[in-house]
């Protein structure tokens, strides 16, 4: 029987809402996560972690633990140092204001002589069972000598603050300045209006369903190490492990199965990954570690945590003359390269956003505190920057008496200015920002808002309308990607890519691109990901998977057809230019000669047509959007409810609308979570984290939305930097949501005689905070 799919494979190609191929096994309980793999003679590892935010490790006594049943070994920092294990690399590319190198303490994978945050690993116990390892860890005696500590960013830079590391004077790890202080000062001096705002992006945790997990296994004969772990960047983890332990890269293989969420938190290697790898390498037995939820709250990379003073200079007509920002970024106890670059460089790249601002004065400082290090979290610097500029735009409109839409219109970069280079020397290839806003206004029924306000008032509630117009940068500035394509005699086209799945449906989207090129049913396509033995690559981060990885698949597939065409010409004894390819077969023009693609593969010596293809895109993409949020506030409790959310998103060409919409709306929920409920809290007096579990940390739930999303994609402006015309999409929703929600609350305040309170709105807008803010002063 010939199916419709076989006769019309393009129904599964680009532009079609193909259901995710990954879901069938997951829904059937057949997913294969790291913890699902249990090799023979597997052992378990448990970490001993510091209960102090800052202390000297005077002594470690593991004798009692080693004597306990099932215990195979207890590792300490001193032992790893003696074995030659190197510290984690820091932010070496950055400088302090005086030109000296970035000042950050060496981060040993197990603390050597000093612990600098609660949860830092101090020792590791390996035992036959997980329970034995946990019990023995409690028997490891660590003698700590407490040291002065500081967890608050402002307190850390205050005169006389305790130092996280003696060489980091003032607790400043690094500093970057952008723009011209002189030019900005001149612009502010001649401005008709100056608007200033203090903005806080609170610290949040990347809450993945699957915690970090690592299984390391050394081959008994060769000693070759295989790591299975939950990561977004297999090659990067392998390289870090090899560098730390001192192994050649060919001696380590990283395999990634299903990944239960990444959100940026699973980029790169953690100290725990290296400890597990070292344990397996030396024990010559499989070693597994799976973090519990409390460990994730304590020791994974946290996100955000910046405080900014932002100022706009405007002329009488509302045209922006200059933007000045001073930012303190809390990067935790160790200034990682990721944590520093996100706040000191990547965020500033998009700080002027969709607005034509050429005069800037930015001063960004990375501050050390006795808290967990910060790193990538969905959006990575762009949400912080966009939140700052969008809050500032709305505040400027209120203070100088210009409609907030009109203020944006007067300052939008126009399509005729494209390609446009912003003051951070980042070039936007395309963008129609006013058009996107106009579409969003219609989708949200902006003009009908007054009627909805009246209805809310009848119910005793305050209603507000918030907007965010913005763009973001995507790509990680790694534009090369490699794929391999194998047309096999059994009727399968197998494509390997080094981009990685983490729940975002990338395998489905890549398969659709293969269908586009080869014109075969999607069931004949097999996408293989997550294996460093199959190929190296940057992995999935910075919303790069489709525009770099997908473009590489397109190019690799086209090169495979070109190679196959030459082989078919030889078989058919005709010139290659006379052979055309269509829907899985080669045909000779003007004749009835034809040869099936898979039959051609079967005639090759290795019964396949194989192409190893590396290609490069021309630059990053600049997706953009307009997100509009409506909220209702209960004045009696301070509860904020999101009652409507509409967005129009320019993500270039859309490969799978279903997946793209899921990314946009899922990202928006995370942004709404930050706006309304999420916050990592450390006690200023003790340095202890007060949000160490889901009993204490408020994550967004399914009921955070009182209404369905209205989400549309504008495909009228394809990206010019890649052959697909696509733009990154995975983080866009997160970036637009936080300012849209907070601006909506500010609008509700302003409409009800509380405009003076809007500068004091800080996330998360919990009921207690909002209620307290609305109470009359003494």
**Which phi and psi (to 5°) does residue 680 adopt?**
-85, 130
Q: What are 609's strand-pairing partners?
A: 487
Dist. CA 110–CA 550, nearest whole Å: 39
Domain spans, the chain: 4-31+476-616, 40-90+104-147+223-287, 151-206+301-428, 429-470+623-778
Q: What are 73's strand-pairing partners?
A: 126
Q: What is the architecture of the domain spanning 40-90+104-147+223-287?
A: Alpha-Beta Complex (3.90)
Count of other CB atoms within 10 angstroms of residue 472: 31
- Tokens in use for 484? 């391999």
Dist. CA 663–CA 268, nearest whole Å: 22
At residue 728's C-alpha, the angle toward residues 726 and 729, to 5°, is: 110
Dist. CA 743–CA 761, nearest whole Å: 9
Any residues with CB less than 8 A from the CB of 8 and at least 6 apart, and which?
Answer: none
**Which phi and psi (to 5°) does residue 348 adopt?**
-60, -25
Residue 16 three-state SS:
coil
Residue 458 three-state SS:
helix
H/E run at residue 735: helix 732-751
Q: Are 247 and 241 in contact (CB under 8 A)?
A: yes
**Fold agreement between 40-90+104-147+223-287 and 151-206+301-428:** no
Dist. CA 364–CA 97, nearest whole Å: 10
Dist. CA 770–CA 151, nearest whole Å: 25
H/E run at residue 609: strand 608-616
Please choose, from the candidates 691, 690, 703, 674, the residue with its C-alpha nearest in 3D space to the C-alpha of residue 766: 674
**Which phi and psi (to 5°) does residue 55 adopt?**
-160, 155
Dist. CA 713–CA 647, nearest whole Å: 8
Q: Are 354 and 322 in contact (CB under 8 A)?
A: no
> What pLDDT digit, counting tens, does each position of 259-284 carry?
999 999 999 999 999 999 999 999 99
Per CATH, which fold does 429-470+623-778 belong to? Aldehyde Oxidoreductase; domain 4 (3.30.365)
Q: Are 686 and 666 in contact (CB under 8 A)?
A: no
Any residues with CB less than 8 A from the CB of 459 and at least 6 apart, and which?
Answer: none
Beta strands at 287-290 and 213-218: parallel, antiparallel or unpaired:
antiparallel
Residue segments in the chain with a per-residue pLDDT below the cut of 50: 1-7
Q: Are 206 and 265 in contact (CB under 8 A)?
A: yes
Instruction: Kindly provide the b/e burial profile for residues 390-418, where b requires at least 16 CB atoms within 10 angstroms of the residue's own CB.
Output: bbbbbbbbbbbebebbebbebbbbeeeeb
Q: Count how many residues are written for the chain.
A: 778
Q: Are 549 and 497 in contact (CB under 8 A)?
A: yes
Please choose, from the candidates 531, 539, 532, 524, the residue with its C-alpha nearest in 3D space to the C-alpha of residue 486: 524
User: What's the burial of 167, exposed, middle or buried (CB within 10 Å: 0-12/13-18/19+)?
Assistant: exposed
Residue that the structure tokens 């300052």 belong to: 411
The end-to-end CA distance of the chain, in Å, is: 81
Q: What are 193's strand-pairing partners?
A: 314
Dist. CA 464–CA 607, nearest whole Å: 65
Residue 9 has what pLDDT?
Answer: 66
Q: Are 648 and 440 in contact (CB under 8 A)?
A: yes
Handedness of CA 452, 454, 460, 462 (dihedral sign): positive
pTM: 0.95
Dist. CA 147–CA 351, nearest whole Å: 38
Dist. CA 10–CA 18, nearest whole Å: 11
Residue 778 has what pLDDT?
Answer: 65
- Pick 4-31+476-616's CATH classification: 3.40.50.150, 3.90.1300.10, 3.30.365.10, 3.90.1490.10: 3.30.365.10
> What pLDDT digit, counting tens, does each position of 316-334 carry?
999 999 999 999 999 999 9
Beta strands at 709-713 and 640-650: parallel, antiparallel or unpaired:
parallel
Q: Are 483 and 527 in contact (CB under 8 A)?
A: no
Give how far Cα 120 sits from Cα of 47, 116, 271, 333, Å: 9, 7, 9, 10
CA dihedral angle for residue 169, residue 174, residue 176, residue 182, rounded to 10 degrees: 0
Q: Number of C-alpha atoms within 13 angstroms, CB side, residue 582?
A: 8
Dist. CA 246–CA 236, nearest whole Å: 15
Q: Number of C-alpha atoms within 13 angstroms, CB side, residue 654?
A: 22
Residue 6 has what pLDDT?
Answer: 45
Dist. CA 408–CA 595, nearest whole Å: 59
CA dihedral angle for residue 274, residue 280, residue 282, residue 283, rounded to 10 degrees: 150
E-state strands within 315-358: 320-332
Q: Which CATH class is domain 151-206+301-428?
A: alpha beta
Q: Number of C-alpha atoms within 13 angstroms, CB side, residue 180?
A: 13
Beta strands at 525-529 and 640-650: parallel, antiparallel or unpaired:
unpaired
């Amino acid at each position: 029987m010939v199916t419709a799919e076989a006769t019309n494979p393009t129904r599964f190609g680009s532009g079609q809402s193909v259901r995710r191929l990954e879901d069938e096994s997951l829904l059937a309980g057949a997913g294969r996560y790291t913890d699902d793999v249990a090799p023979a003679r597997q052992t378990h590892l448990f970490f001993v972690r510091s209960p102090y935010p800052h202390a000297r490790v005077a002594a470690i006594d593991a004798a009692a633990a080693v004597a306990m049943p099932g215990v195979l070994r207890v590792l300490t920092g001193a032992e790893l140092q003696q074995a030659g294990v190197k510290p984690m690399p820091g932010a070496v590319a950055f400088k302090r204001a005086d030109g000296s190198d970035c000042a950050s303490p060496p981060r040993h994978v197990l603390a050597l002589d000093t612990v600098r945050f609660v949860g830092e690993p101090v020792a590791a116990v390996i035992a036959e069972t997980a329970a034995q390892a946990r019990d023995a860890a409690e028997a490891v005696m660590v003698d700590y000598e407490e040291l002065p500590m500081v967890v608050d960013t402002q307190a850390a830079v205050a005169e006389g603050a305790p130092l996280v590391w003696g060489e980091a004077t003032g607790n400043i790890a690094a500093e970057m300045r952008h723009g011209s202080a002189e030019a900005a000062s001149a612009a502010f001096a001649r401005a008709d209006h100056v608007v200033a705002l203090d903005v806080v992006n609170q610290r949040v945790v990347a809450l993945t369903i699957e915690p970090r997990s690592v299984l390391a296994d050394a081959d008994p004969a060769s000693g070759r190490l295989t790591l299975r772990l939950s990561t977004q960047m297999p090659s990067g983890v392998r390289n870090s492990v090899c560098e730390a332990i001192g192994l050649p890269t060919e001696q380590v293989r990283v395999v990634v199965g299903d990944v239960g969420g990444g959100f940026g938190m699973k980029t790169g290697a953690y100290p725990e990954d290296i400890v597990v790898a070292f344990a397996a390498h030396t024990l010559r037995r499989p070693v597994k570690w799976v973090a519990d939820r409390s460990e994730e709250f304590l020791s994974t990379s946290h996100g955000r945590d910046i405080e900014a003073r932002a100022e706009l200079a405007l002329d009488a007509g509302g045209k922006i003359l200059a933007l000045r920002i001073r930012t303190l970024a809390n990067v935790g106890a160790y200034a990682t390269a990721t944590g520093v670059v996100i706040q000191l460089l990547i965020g500033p790249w998009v700080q002027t956003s969709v607005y034509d601002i050429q005069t800037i004065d930015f001063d960004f400082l990375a501050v050390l505190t006795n808290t967990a290090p910060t790193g990538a979290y969905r959006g990575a610097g762009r949400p912080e920057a966009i939140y700052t500029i969008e809050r500032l735009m709305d505040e400027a409109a209120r203070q100088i008496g210009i409609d907030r839409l009109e203020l944006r219109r007067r300052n939008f970069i126009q399509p005729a200015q494209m390609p446009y280079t912003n003051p951070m020397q980042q070039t936007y290839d395309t963008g129609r920002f006013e058009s996107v806003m106009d579409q969003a206004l219609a989708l949200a029924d902006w003009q009908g808002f007054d009627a909805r306000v009246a209805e809310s008032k009848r119910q005793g509630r305050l209603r507000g309308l918030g907007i965010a117009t913005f763009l973001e940068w995507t790509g990680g500035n790694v534009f090369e990607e490699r794929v391999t394509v194998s047309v096999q005699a059994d009727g399968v086209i197998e494509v390997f890519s080094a981009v990685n799945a983490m729940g975002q449906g990338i395998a489905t989207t890549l398969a659709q691109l293969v269908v586009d090129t080869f014109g075969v049913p999607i069931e004949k396509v097999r996408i293989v990901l997550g294996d460093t033995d199959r190929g190296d690559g940057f992995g999935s981060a910075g919303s790069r998977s489709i525009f770099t990885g997908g473009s590489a698949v397109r190019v690799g597939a086209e090169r495979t057809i070109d190679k196959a065409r030459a082989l078919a010409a030889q078989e058919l004894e005709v010139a290659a230019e006379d052979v055309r390819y269509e829907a899985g077969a080669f045909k000779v023009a003007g004749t009835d000669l034809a040869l099936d693609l898979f039959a051609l593969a079967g005639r090759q010596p290795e019964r396949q047509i194989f192409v190893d293809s590396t290609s490069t895109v021309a630059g990053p993409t600049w997706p953009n959007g307009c997100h509009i949020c409506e909220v209702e506030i209960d004045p009696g409790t301070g509860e904020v409810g999101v009652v409507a959310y509409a967005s129009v998103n320019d993500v270039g060409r859309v490969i799978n609308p279903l997946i793209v919409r899921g990314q946009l709306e899922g990202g928006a929920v995370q942004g709404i979570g930050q706006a309304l409920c999420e916050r990592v809290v450390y006690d200023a007096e003790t340095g202890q984290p007060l949000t160490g579990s889901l009993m204490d940390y408020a994550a967004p739930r399914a009921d955070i939305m009182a209404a369905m999303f209205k989400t549309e994609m504008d495909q009228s402006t394809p990206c010019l930097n890649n052959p697909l015309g696509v733009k990154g999409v995975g983080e866009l929703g997160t970036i637009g949501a936080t300012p849209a929600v907070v601006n909506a609350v500010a609008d509700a305040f302003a409409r009800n005689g509380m405009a003076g309170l809007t500068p004091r709105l800080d996330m998360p807008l919990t009921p207690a905070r909002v209620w307290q803010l609305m109470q009359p002063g003494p």
